Amino acid sequence: MTLSQNSLLRAISIDNIKRAIPLGMGQLKRHLIKVPFAVNYDLTYKCNLKCEHCYFFSSVEEKRRENALRPELTDPQWLEVFKYHRSRGITSAAITGGEPTLRMNLLHEAVKIFPRIQIATNGIIKIPRFPGNKQPLIWTSIDGRPETHNAIRGAEIYDRVIENIRDDKRVLISTTLTTSNYDEIEDIVKETIKSNVAGIFFLFYTGYPKDPLLLKGKYLRKAIQSISKVMNEYEDFIVISKMMIQCYITKAHVSDCIFKNGGVQSFYPNGEKKFCVMGNSPLLCANCGCIVPVASHCISKFDPETIEKLKKFPF
């Protein structure tokens, strides 16, 4: 029996079927009472880096050019937002930025309020263990070999990030694939697996047409080949399914995007609702490489491998 066959048998287990039922119930609840399945908060405009592929910086610059950039919410105002959404029955929150660890006190509060939390961070500031047994899932960005990662991030930070995440099973590595790093996938996996974290997943850079960082043609094919190879060699460490890879190519997830249909709502640091986590324009959809709608689409198809792979994500 091959590894992939083993994976398929695990995927159709009773545990996974039971896990899929609440997801379906959550979607039904959203349709009946118009409550999103989850929320995403950009806590702050501030960041301690300026990365070449940062979707957040791009969307904020668009707002600034429109003279539509209002101050970020204060701590008490964010707490009101957290509590309001929790009172409506929302149980899952993704905390992003800017760099969310720059408002660490709000991370502590969010962990108390929401049953399930994901924090997306560049890894420069180590996220502590929170009191009690409930811990967030931490998405930490690694975007290439040390020299490539540092070039993309604009600072010599690779070694510091690796040290901050070492032996932390709350951590999933988040790698955004662009024309700068598409040929380093195997090296990224080989190095990050040594850090003894929970796993790694891949996003494809989301940008406007003609953006030079977008993966197309031979660059896209090379990336797909490399992901397929590491999936076979490091099966349990790679948190992505074959159907998810196909979505990145075909964009099948765009038509039922969980942001567009209201399943997840995303908010700027000033509390204003965004079009989606990637920005504020539907023009981004044609090149969408966001893992959130991709994963949602594949789960909605009850793809067994996706359900098995995404056990490491708290829904």
Q: Please report the pLDDT score of residue 22 as a whole number.
A: 53
pLDDT in tens, 104-147: 999 999 999 999 999 999 999 999 999 988 999 999 999 999 99
Q: Please report the pLDDT score of residue 25 as a whole number.
A: 52
Residue-number span of the structural domain to which 53 is assigned = 3-312
CATH value at residue 97: 3.20.20.70
Q: What gap in Å lies between CA 73 and CA 81, rounded to an integer? A: 10
Q: Please report the pLDDT score of residue 2 as a whole number.
A: 44
**Mean pLDDT, the chain, whole residue set:** 90
**Structural domain count of the chain:** 1
Low-confidence stretches of the chain (pLDDT < 70) are 1-33, 314-315
Q: Please report the pLDDT score of residue 59 as a whole number.
A: 86
Both tokens of 196, joined, read 């003894």
Whose tokens are 């690796």? That residue is 162
Phi, psi of 88 (to 5 degrees): -85, 0
Both tokens of 173, joined, read 């590595």
Q: What gap in Å lies between CA 108 and CA 129, rounded to an integer? A: 10
Closest to 264 (Cα-Cα) out of 278, 246, 284, 250: 278
Is the full-model pTM beyond 0.95? no
Q: Rounded to whole angstroms, what are the CA distances from 162 to 126, 140, 166, 173?
A: 10, 10, 6, 10
Stated as kind and residue range, the H or E segment containing 177 is strand 171-177
